[in-house]
Structure 1
């Protein structure tokens, strides 16, 4: 059996196991609440594994090692930021958001402000962020199958789209929870075991030092030096730290916990699981500095994790390790795409297809399945039409849009009773137009130079403060339109369930 056949078999097995677990979980999915939030019964350890499964995307499994290989150690801001975002989420959002009783971010916005207009704006943003984040998952799947088995670039997106659609539409959140929890541990095994073996091989080779052919050095900043490099670095940090709380597939997970205390415990476990995973991409980057000159010269640093086992080990052992990391990479695309599809489907169901189908309750199971088709098909077609958008760049822009829109809405909505409907709409428009406009230009291939390029590539440093300031100023100017129930609602968000029980 050739190396390509072994890797193809690994992809088939991952897909079949994913479908099998999803089918098994289907027997637990009976109600609309099961499809949307798993009836709010997911315990912290299972939920944390599922969050780790959906959060560790194409950018985490493939992108970080390639960025470190070419850009140097300061690219570690990516995994540090992606992990630290959960610390911000833990402190500011996790428990109050669960106590809100909402199903989705638009639900929270409507309940908090009593406005259908804010709900509609949030629904549009959830779909936009979700689709922007799905693009690199499909692109990464194409890169993986092309590198591992020589398949055409369009095969990977079609396979991921089909498997995700089958799982999401069949069992909803209840089913996907089991799938994503399994996929986290598969991804951890797939990146850890080959890394350990390759380090042993490197040591047996006399532990050679990195070569000089790889550009960048270990001290290169995220961008060129000077003011632009400093701005770009801080803007990236802001997007990653604050964007996590606004990602729809992350936030929806906290609605599945039984209560606010469980939401906090889930976040703590997630921090540990992500930290454990992110120990290993730098190992691949370090070994790539020794063995990966050819990959850099060919502009293929994105597939370092996939190619390194073959480069360092000949014959069947190298092919088996390649098959394992291919399986892990494919699991990353499946799990993250599933989480995004669930989040986008939930919003489309609540606000569009539920009404079209005409079910008694807005957004039932039939409407959810119809929405899942739309949620997957649109970014899939875009991924097939667009080429080389850039995995890390697309994910970074999705974080910037989330940080510039939902982060201000959640922080101010949870912690400030003075937020008004006009203020929320103005802030969402300012942040969404700023960061979203930069994302559209990036996808369209518009590139600037100097400061204009930096402001477009990393918009968070100006779009996030703009959104916060606009939301606060307009709310102050329209203070007479603050919701009458705001004080009571905030008390509900910040009152522990145990205290509510004692009071009752």
Structure 2
């Protein structure tokens, strides 16, 4: 095992141990509210750090930089959307949600519309969203361990699942809050160090992207293709191949002419000389100049896909259970708004660093454009810039540990939200919460851990974007209309959540089942784009269904709708807010 692998593995273990120690020091869970909402006493700054810690997931730490490496400026919409989503959350949801007195999203739905059926539907949606979101976190942990140590990916995925389940089961929301705040600042540092070093080296190299040429291999490079890819050669290139290319077995030199496209199967080995132009995966910008301009790839209907992505990321944040659960932990609505404002600043700083690392990856890890495994860009960048010596190994270990902090933090927040719903809405509500919550955590955490052992082939940022589409199509309409429209009925809410959930989740299933989902836009036209980016259809459809069915069922409007809305919007000092659950030991 190399020095980089040893130091990375040590760093990963240390960050896991540090998280466990911090969680145990903060452990104090005697009441229901301790487990579910940390007794609603988390200060704004600490809560902002915890929110940022759990929100910045595998998609943010690894996925966005990888997408920028391939797509260029088109990929910036991910970072913009994930950040802007908090602005919408701040404007429309944060304070009223805190004043609802609820502990979970199903509890809010019950408080607003008093419908047991709606509560069950919301419970099912929480489980689907959290499981889909947990999957890329655990697989990201496996990818990190596999890249830096050479061990099988499933070992890292399984270890991460066990650690997260144990942490949440023992401490609940209170312990997780302190752990996530620590993990935010740690992973920010893990990005800042290689970003600053890499920027200094890059400026010294004098490299420019304002050129009509593809990136180049900086040294002789051997690429092992792990999954089938279709490569486009912008310029002619000589490659030594061993494996299967264009359906034929090869073991020797090949000449790829300019503008050609080639199918490369898994297990094929490609060797390039220093200075050779880098072939890129199909649909991506083939030269640096077009990489800097929007909509220059060869995929069809890129504008439609971008608008749908914007809608999903801008509105999806309002529907993420683990994000919403954080605003239940503030002391009042004003503190919830203050937390959201701080989060905007913290997310902005983080995504600036991720963007810079994506740009640097285009220069120093161009081989990932060939393999398609662009999620590894941030992990490989330190040694690509600094070499495999002690300094490169130290920075690489820091980045690997930061990546694990990202996975553990987000997975912990998701599992807290999932276990909260399972303990209050799935398990029989008798006995002490100190017994129900750990059992709910195990039941909620085992299935996604098992599924994570099997790779899906989706980029982490793309996988999370699909989850955002489901959240934007279900809980976003429910919260916005439930908070701001008196005319919402239980039947309308159920219809809207079911329609939006079925349409968006159906697209997610089709995407996860596809061998090459990103190619759907080319092979199936706009239908393929909508399967891959369903929000532009599913979100308006959910809002319209909820509004229309509510209008047709006016007689079912709750008699106390006015009082509930007054409670959601009135300042806390008027004393109208009440908790939905009793604090029982």
TM class, shorter-chain normalised? over 0.9
2:334 maps to what in 1? 261
1:368-416 residue CA offsets vs partner (Å, 9 max, x unmatched):
1111012111111111134324312220111000000000000000000
Q: Say whether 1:459 aligns with 2:534.
A: yes
Deviations 1:86-144 (A, max 9, x none): 00000000000000000000000001001000000000000100000001001111111
Q: Post-superposition shift, 1:29?
A: 2.2
Q: State how far apart, in whole Å, the 2-side matches of 1:222 and 1:128 are.
A: 35
CA drift of 1:14 comes to 0.6
Shift of 1:165: 1.0
Cα deviation per residue 1:271-324 (whole Å; 9 max; x = unaligned)?
000001011112112212222222212222111111011111121111111101
Whole-Å separation in 2 of the counterparts to 1:62 and 1:74: 17
The corresponding residue for 2:320 is 247
Measure, in 2, the Cα distance between the counterparts of 1:198 and 1:62. Answer: 16
* Paired residues, number: 493
Partner of 1:399: 468
Tell me the residue number matched to 1:208: 207
Residue of structure 2 aligned with 1:425, choices 487, 494, 516: 494
Q: 438-447 vs 164-173, which deviates more?
A: 438-447
Tell me whether 1:52 sits opposite 2:39 in the alignment: no
| Secondary structure of the structure 2 residue equivalent to 1:330 | helix
Q: How does 1:75-474 map to 2 (within 5 A)?
A: 75-204=75-204, 206-210=205-209, 212-213=214-215, 215=280, 216=285, 217-221=291-295, 224=298, 228-314=301-387, 315-355=389-429, 358-359=430-431, 364-445=433-514, 447=517, 448=520, 449-474=524-549
Q: SS of the residue aligned with 2:30?
A: coil
Contact in 2 for aligned 1:69/1:286 (Cα 8 Å): yes
**What is the CA–CA distance in structure 2 between the aligned matches of 1:344 and 1:241, rounded to whole Å?**
23
Q: Secondary structure at the match of 1:279?
A: helix
**Hey, what does 1:8 align to over in structure 2?**
9
* Structure 2: segments with no counterpart, 5+ residues: 216-277, 286-290, 577-585
Q: CA RMSD in A?
A: 1.5
Question: 1:483 matched to which residue of 2?
Answer: 558
1:223/1:232 contact within 8 Å kept: no
Shift of 1:471: 0.3
* Comparing 106-115 and 364-373, the one that deviates more: 364-373
Q: Given the superposition, is the C-alpha separation of residues 352 and 222 from structure 1 closer, same or farther in structure 2, using an over 3 Å criterion? A: farther
Does the 8 A contact of 2:26 with 2:174 survive in 1? yes
Would the aligned equivalents of 2:165 and 2:441 in 1 still touch at CA under 8 Å? yes
Provide the C-alpha distance between the structure 2 equivalents of 1:223 and 1:400, rounded to a whole number of angstroms.
Answer: 23
| Separation in 1, partners of 2:507, 2:407 | 25
Considering fraction of residues, name the structure with more helix: 1
Q: Following TM superposition, by how much is the alpha carbon of 1:365 offset from its aligned partner in structure 2, in angstroms?
A: 2.0
Q: Which residue of 1 aligns with 2:567?
A: 492
Is this contact kept in 1: 2:139–2:455, CA < 8 A?
no
Q: Structure 1 residue 219: deviation in Å?
A: 1.7
How far apart, in 1, do the equivalents of 2:333 and 2:169 lie?
Answer: 28
Give the Cα separation in 2 of the matches to 1:29 and 1:199.
Answer: 45
8 Å CA contact 1:238–1:460 kept in 2: the answer is: yes
Distance 1:255 1:223, change over 3 A: farther
CA distance in 1, matches of 2:174, 2:186: 19
CA distance in 2, matches of 1:308, 1:127: 36
**Alpha-carbon separation, structure 2, partners of 1:422 and 1:223:** 44
Higher strand residue share: 2
> Whose radius of gyration is greater, 1 or 2?
2
> For 1:389 and 1:63, how far apart are their aligned partners in 2?
10
* 2:579 matched residue in structure 1: none
Contact 1:222–1:229 (Cα < 8 Å) also in 2: no
With normalisation by structure 1, the TM-score equals: 0.95
Q: Is the 8 A contact 1:135 1:380 kept in 2?
A: yes
For 1:51 and 1:373, how far apart are their aligned partners in 2? 23
